[in-house]
Amino acid sequence: MPPYAPVFSLTDFDNPDGVAVLRRCQRRIAELEAQVEKEKAAKKTPGVSEKTFTNLGHCIQKVVSMFGSIESLIAENDRRQDLALERSEGDEVHDEEEEYTEDQIRAFNGYKEPIRFVPAIRKPLMESEHEELVAIFKALTHGARNARSDDTKNLKAAIVPWLQRLFINMPALDVESREDRGIYNDFVGALLCPTEYNWDDLQVRTMIREGDADHLVTAGSWFKGLYPHDKFDPENPDIGLFRNALLMNVWQYIFTSPISVKAKKGPAQTPKRSVATLIGLKRVTGRSIAYAAVQYRVALSDSRQWDQYNGSFDYNEFYNKVVDYFESPPGPVAKLEVDRLLDFWNTYEHIQTPAHLVPLRKRFRGRLFCEALARYTGCTQGGVDYCSHWTVVVAHLELLVPA
């Protein structure tokens, strides 16, 4: 017992003075307990309320990870930090621990996004106990699911007039239901058809609808609705991929506003506080395109409600495939094509116009010209001779810098 603590016995409280001391001690204990509870509550939500984290969670599935949990992203980062610490301390690290799977690479890339788009989470990650983090993650997840549900519900109706303008002979669709869409709709089915199948062949169309084993609609194939209308080239499947106007409309509807999609001429009429502005999205990213692509396909499908699966089509697998296309290209030439595609999205007329997205034509003009010149003069990277890919670079420059 500390030397300054008074020593009492039971007989000390048999007189009025002793009782007064006891009451003072009880009051002091109550004050200290209340202070401890207050400090615990403050630590539980360090400057940010649970409701605020729910609101901040609206961006999680849009730009961080649509299917992976925040916990899984953080766990992958922690695992790599532990491996780095073991190496620095001279501990043995097995080769298989450093041979990352596609899922681990995707999760690690995704780990950077919560810090970028939800900066309020940085302090809790550093200071909060596990139980406190669980509550924060639960709030973020709740907000993320609410936002995804709202987008799915709104796009169910929003996509109808776009489809009617594309297919002028298509019978009117129900804006309140998706049951008249999907592969059983001759027009919408043409968009959902995998690129390797000929939708115009009625026999092929029948086999697709009957679920023939050789004509399955899965996430393993790109579907034709990801390409400009009737522009798919089987000899060059990357040409036109993710440049479909409907997909771009979906992205704009989600990240700028419904008004921006309706604008026919002139600058897009985007509100100052669009979703992109609120979450700090200054450029179109691969993950935001992947999210829009999933929502786009759901809107085309005949699913009655949100589900990871639409027949044999797995949306989780599809989302991962799109993210990997942008974040893990197989080589420098593929990386150049991905950069070109993202530049196209960021310089697309109605996406570029809003003030919160940075105009890129002037910025990329000098950089791309210098890169092209270096490659044209014989520079190589990763064993690839860029002289042989000069035409790709020229096409890139012509796309970004019109005459």
Q: Which residue ranges in the chain fall short of pLDDT 70?
A: 1-19, 40-48, 89-98, 260, 262-273, 348-403
Q: What is the pLDDT at residue 397?
A: 42
Q: Any idea which residue has 């296309």 for tokens?
A: 325
Question: Which structure tokens are listed for 304?
Answer: 């009655």
Q: What is the pLDDT at residue 354?
A: 46
Strand, helix or coil for residue 23: helix
Question: Which structure tokens are listed for 301?
Answer: 């499908």
Q: Within 13 Å of residue 150, how many CA atoms lie on the same side as its CB?
A: 14
- Assess contact for 123 and 47: CB atoms under 8 A: yes
Dist CA 114 CA 243 (whole Å)? 27
Q: Any idea which residue has 């790109």 for tokens?
A: 222
Task: Compute, in degrees rounded to 10, the torsion defined by CA atoms 387, 392, 394, 398.
Answer: -170
Q: What is the pLDDT at residue 356?
A: 43
Dist CA 350 CA 344 (whole Å)? 11
pTM: predicted TM-score of the whole model, two decimal places: 0.73
Q: What is the pLDDT at residue 216?
A: 94
Q: What is the pLDDT at residue 358?
A: 44
Dist CA 323 CA 238 (whole Å)? 15
Q: What is the pLDDT at residue 87?
A: 73
Q: What is the pLDDT at residue 20?
A: 73
Nearest to 72 by CA among 83, 62, 60, 84: 60
Strand, helix or coil for residue 76: helix
Nearest to 307 by CA among 191, 178, 174: 178
